[in-house]
Amino acid sequence: MKLSFRDLLNKENSKKMASLISDEVVDQPSRMDELMDLFFDEDLRTCQRASWPVGLLADKNPQLLEPYLKKMLDNLDTPHHDAVIRNTFRTFQETDFPEDLEGIAFDKAFNFFLEVNNAIAIRVFAMTVCGNIAMKYPELGHELIPVIEEGMPHGSAAYLSRGNSILKKLRK
Ordered by start, the domain boundaries in the chain are 1-95, 98-172
The pLDDT value recorded for residue 53 is 95
What are the 10-residue block averages of pLDDT along the chain, 172 residues in total? 86 92 96 96 91 91 94 90 90 92 97 95 97 95 96 94 96 88
Q: What is the pTM of this model?
A: 0.90
The pLDDT value recorded for residue 1 is 54
The pLDDT value recorded for residue 135 is 95
SS (H, E, C) the chain: CCCCHHHHHHHCCCHHHHHHHHHHHHHCHHHHHHHHHHHCCCCHHHHHHHHHHHHHHHHHCHHHHHHHHHHHHHHCCCCCCHHHHHHHHHHHCCCCCCHHHHHHHHHHHHHHHHCCCCCHHHHHHHHHHHHHHHCCCHHHHHHHHHHHHHHHHHCCHHHHHHHHHHHHHHHC
